[in-house]
Structure formats: C-alpha cells, structure tokens
C-alpha cells in the first residue's frame, strides 16, 4: 500500500491555533498532510503569500508528516497533481456545513477519486477563524490565545495591539 496523502488547502491569513489543531488531527489519519496556501486573486489578504508560507513553516517546524506548499487554480486539480486521496476541511459550526458540502460535491465532480474529509477542531477553537483574528487585532484586541507566538509578532507589526 502506498503513502496516504491528504491536502489541507486554505488561505491561512493568518494560520491560527484552530488550523494547527486540524493539522494535528489530520496527521493521525494520513501519512503525509500537504498544507497548501491557495493563491486566490479575488481575495486581498492581510499577509502576502510568502508571509503566510513562512508563518506556517514557523508554526509547524520541521516535520516528516507535513509538507507546506502553495498552489493556484482548482483545489481538486491540485489534489490530483500531488496524488492526494483526500482533501481536509475544517468544520467549526453548522453554518460552515452548507458551503463546505457544496464545495465537496463540486470537487468530487472534478476529481472522482478524491474524498473530502471534514474534521472538527477541539472545543477551544470551534469559534475561531482568521477573519475573526484579524478583526479583533484591527480593533486593538488581544489575539495571543488564538495564534502561535510567531504569528502574533507579525500581527503586531500590522496592527498596534494593546
């Protein structure tokens, strides 16, 4: 049997403790998890693609079971290109489900052999997402519980946190 590889795609703008929790859960199910930052021209991220890749590298350190990459285009096609058998998606709440379900069905049409696996984060991260972290930081709030320390330092350079 070959290596079981999964793709965990996202914008990771910035990576949060919730993302890290999902990565840990995914590495228990797969031999290799490719954490891939999507280059989406329709979004205006706070951090550049290179900064986001660096933050992920800093947050995860050197690991045999995780690969960090960038991609553009269709997620399902990228999953096929890297021979991933699954796409990992985090589900925080019921409100995430409808969107994620539609994406999973679309991805299945594009790449029939790739399954979407939904993982729920641990309870401390159920409410957490990058958009919320940025909103709190923009208003001067403390986001230290939500992101790794290296990410916090980068956020502080963008927003003056009290």
Q: Which positions are annotated as active-site residues?
A: 19, 43, 92, 130
Q: Which tokens go with 144?
A: 């230290």
Q: Strand pairing partners for 86?
A: 6, 115
In 10 A of CB 84, how many CB atoms? Answer: 27
In 10 A of CB 66, how many CB atoms? Answer: 20
Tell me how far apart the alpha carbons of residues 31 and 161 are, in angstroms, rounded to a whole number. 39
In 10 A of CB 24, how many CB atoms? Answer: 16
């Amino acid at each position: 049997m070959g290596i079981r590889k999964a793709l965990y795609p996202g914008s990771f703008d910035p990576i949060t403790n919730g993302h890290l929790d999902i990565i840990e859960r995914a590495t228990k199910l797969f031999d290799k998890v490719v954490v891939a930052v999507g280059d989406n021209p329709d979004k205006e991220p706070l951090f550049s693609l290179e900064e986001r890749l660096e933050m992920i590298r800093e947050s995860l350190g050197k690991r045999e079971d995780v690969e960090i990459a960038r991609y553009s285009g269709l997620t399902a096609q990228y999953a096929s290109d890297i021979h991933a058998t699954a796409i990992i998606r985090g589900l925080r709440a019921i409100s995430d489900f409808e969107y994620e379900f539609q994406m999973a069905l679309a991805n299945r049409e594009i790449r029939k052999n790739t399954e979407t696996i939904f993982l729920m984060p641990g309870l401390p991260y159920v409410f957490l997402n990058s958009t919320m972290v940025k909103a709190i930081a923009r208003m001067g709030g403390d986001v230290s519980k939500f992101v790794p320390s290296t990410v916090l330092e980068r956020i502080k350079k963008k927003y003056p946190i009290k």
